[in-house]
Amino acid sequence: MVDTYTYIPKHAMSTGYNDSDESDSILSPPKKRKYEAACNSSARLDILESEVKRLKRKVKSLESREKENLQNKEELNTISTEVQEFNGFSVKELKNLIFTSTSIPTATELLLKKLFTTDEIKNHSISGKTKNSKCGTEGPRPPMDQEKLRIMSSIISEKFTDFSRKMLVEKIQNIQKVYRRH
Altogether, the residues listed in the chain come to a count of 182
**Strand intervals (E) in the chain:** 85-86, 89-90
Mean pLDDT of the chain: 77
Report pTM. 0.51
Q: Which residues of 11-36 are buried (b: 16+ CB within 10 A; e: fewer)?
A: eeeebebeeeeeeeeeeeeeeeebee
**CB burial class (10 A; 0-12, 13-18, 19+) of residue 51?**
middle
Averaged pLDDT for residues 33-38: 56
User: Which pLDDT score, from 0 to 100, does residue 20 have?
Assistant: 46
